[in-house]
Structure 1
């Protein structure tokens, strides 16, 4: 157990709130795209595969951009610092792309605008994550990610609950709100960091490329390798759950949309509490220990819906699953912060985003395959109960990788 101050100083609280502010806009904008872009795209094509490819472009960009940008942000230096210029340059691009998407007159134009959004988003993300490692003491890493997780969960919940209402009022409105939130959060961070002491420059040995820096991280740091695999497995769990949980409720269990709306509210509140509480516990007991124990509960809990469709069981378990899911999306980067070399904050942040992208791509694919293959065994839910076996297995496998990282 490590000692942790119960109260943050005013300067620490201000820093963590500033760093967390862009999280709302990032989460809101990405959720608006993934949730409501298909509504717009259906006006141009009836092909579900085409719509899926349009939304799924996120995964492809996530595999290519963060590695290069993260390493690049380790090597550049300006009067604004190493990371902030990337945020200043890409937030307006992402905001403009968001604002233009609902105004597109054809599917190819929309696809170009979506590509520019994803490219700007992932160019923003790795330097933004690296700022945490640059500026936040390791003793505050859990609470820092907890506060960032709260902003992200608020953005996610706002998009899911309010996005549809805004879409009904005026189709461009949710995109404009998301763009404004991203610009505002970025402006607050950039302006708030003025006058903040910049982290000491870390000498760079030679002129290693981003790819070489990432390879060195994977080759020489066993803990980093294990953490990236663990993050991919957790992203697989969360990605598969997001893709099929509503279908499980509607087609598998026959629940009404009113029931689903209530369930999503419980999930949003539970995930927000999970982000907040897990961050505080991580700084007191260690992020890896807290996450590993949470994931054991999470993984075992995910097995139960595979074998029971009881509404009473679901009502009792849903808050726990949501709470653990909030912790699972909050603490992994806090652990990475504690393991990354000082000279490679950006490269490690980019690698973290890529590992998450791999899981996000694999999650829906593997979960969907399990639903199709095991449908005869889970006929009462049209196969959807099989999803929980995949999600439980990936979660418990991530615990093994976390333990390897702790011993590495």
Structure 2
């Protein structure tokens, strides 16, 4: 658990950086762009890169064998580059320079995000991974809270200060990970040793893995749509002020943060599929109830309950997809996880926005509930417990 908390610093720095990026870069873009849709498109660069780069980097990290380990080389390259480019972002002098800094920062983050996430199952026994995922998500959540709390104050002094702080935190996290986290593969590495041929991912992608990935896609479609369009729903449909609508969504995020550790414990005790299924059904009931709610107080209560159920889903989903394969494919499965979640983040907001234009604002939670129904149907198709698949893997055909 000590290593897990130390590894959480990596997630802390990633979440801190992304929160600052998402909060302040739109203000920089607004200096040059008058179209909100174009600004929104520019802010999805990371999701498009995640579709291609992160799965490939995750796969490459599975095949990497060095004296530093499989994942650490990517951190040692990507984190310093990300620290440099995130620091440079507020020093733009024109739109092309700002876009160049944004792209380079996103590329740098893509180099080490999948390997950083894959480090958790690398150093954690399977039975402890849901608890560990709860810890690192808690650390990530704290990074986001710090970004909004301290970052906004620093931004008032100088727009460059929060980004400089993020770069410093990124570098400090890299040094902590380098000197305190040693991968199991690095301990057994011998210079000049014959490298083992990697396990081919296609030999491990069975119907269980496909259904889990499909379920992940559908529940992220539900979540991403609500996260992106809730403020519009609250102001246009419920008649809330901008401040009240955005503040209401905070209840969902805080409930998720508080329940991150307990949901990991529940997944370890009762099984990942069982807790995820309960979370999907619970969130479906919450979203279904919100369709009929007009009271701000009742809405916020339901969002608190929804955040608890979302923690049950999100904290246990990554350890579950990792547990469906052998240890040699952890990086590849991490990349696949980000592939489907990023695809959902790209598709969901414009799709649900189009549906709101066609059928009215109320359709937001109807569409999100439909996504959760489809996710639950995928879960029903999974007959064998993923932990059992992991415990007795069949020999790959190399």
Q: Is the 8 A contact 1:23 1:185 kept in 2?
A: no
> Which residue of 375, 378, 386 corresponds with 1:398?
375
Tell me how far apart the structure 2 counterparts of residues 144 and 231 of structure 1 sit (CA, whole Å). Answer: 19
Tell me how far apart the structure 1 counterparts of residues 195 and 380 of structure 2 sit (CA, whole Å). Answer: 31
Tell me how far apart the structure 1 counterparts of residues 252 and 161 of structure 2 sit (CA, whole Å). Answer: 25
Tell me how far apart the structure 1 counterparts of residues 198 and 325 of structure 2 sit (CA, whole Å). Answer: 19
Q: Is the 8 A contact 1:149 1:329 kept in 2?
A: no
Q: Which digits, 9 at most, give the CA deviation of each residue in 1:296-315, with x for residues without a partner? A: 00112111222222223213
> Which residue of 23, 29, 41 corresponds with 2:11?
23
Instruction: Report the TM-score, using the length of structure 1 for normalisation.
Output: 0.87
> Which residue of 204, 211, 223 corresponds with 1:226?
211
Shift of 1:319: 0.9
Tell me how far apart the structure 1 counterparts of residues 34 and 204 of structure 2 sit (CA, whole Å). Answer: 44
Residue of structure 2 in register with 1:111 after alignment: 99
Alpha-carbon spacing, 1:369–1:333, altered in 2? closer, same or farther (3 Å): same
**2:109 counterpart of 1:129:** no
Shift of 1:270: 0.5
Q: Is the 8 A contact 1:288 1:406 kept in 2?
A: no
Q: Which moved more, 1:176-185 or 1:256-265?
A: 256-265
Structure 2 regions of 5+ residues with no counterpart? 386-398
Q: Is the 8 A contact 1:134 1:199 kept in 2?
A: no
> Which residue of 258, 265, 282 corresponds with 1:297?
282
Within 5 Å, which residues of 2 pair with 1:24-173? 24-173=12-161
Tell me how far apart the structure 2 counterparts of residues 69 and 400 of structure 1 sit (CA, whole Å). Answer: 31
Tell me how far apart the structure 2 counterparts of residues 360 and 254 of structure 1 sit (CA, whole Å). Answer: 26
Residue of structure 1 in register with 2:346 after alignment: 361
Tell me how far apart the structure 1 counterparts of residues 187 and 209 of structure 2 sit (CA, whole Å). Answer: 22
Q: Is the 8 A contact 2:20 2:162 kept in 1?
A: yes
RMSD: 2.3
Alpha-carbon spacing, 1:17–1:150, altered in 2? closer, same or farther (3 Å): same
Q: Is the 8 A contact 2:54 2:338 kept in 1?
A: yes
Q: Is the 8 A contact 1:214 1:351 kept in 2?
A: no
Residue of structure 2 in register with 1:387 after alignment: 364
Residue of structure 2 in register with 1:180 after alignment: 168
Shift of 1:162: 4.3
Aligned residues: 381
Alpha-carbon spacing, 1:282–1:256, altered in 2? closer, same or farther (3 Å): same
Residue of structure 2 in register with 1:322 after alignment: 307
Residue of structure 1 in register with 2:254 after alignment: 269
Residue of structure 1 in register with 2:395 after alignment: none
Structure 1 regions of 5+ residues with no counterpart? 1-12, 376-382
Q: Which digits, 9 at most, give the CA deviation of each residue in 1:330-353, with x for residues without a partner? A: 221011121122221111111111
> Which residue of 248, 255, 261 corresponds with 2:233?
248
Deviation beyond 6 Å, 4+ runs, structure 1 = none
Secondary structure in 1 aligned to 2:93? coil
Instruction: Report the TM-score, using the length of structure 2 for normalisation.
Output: 0.89
Shift of 1:145: 0.5
Q: Is the 8 A contact 2:252 2:304 kept in 1?
A: yes
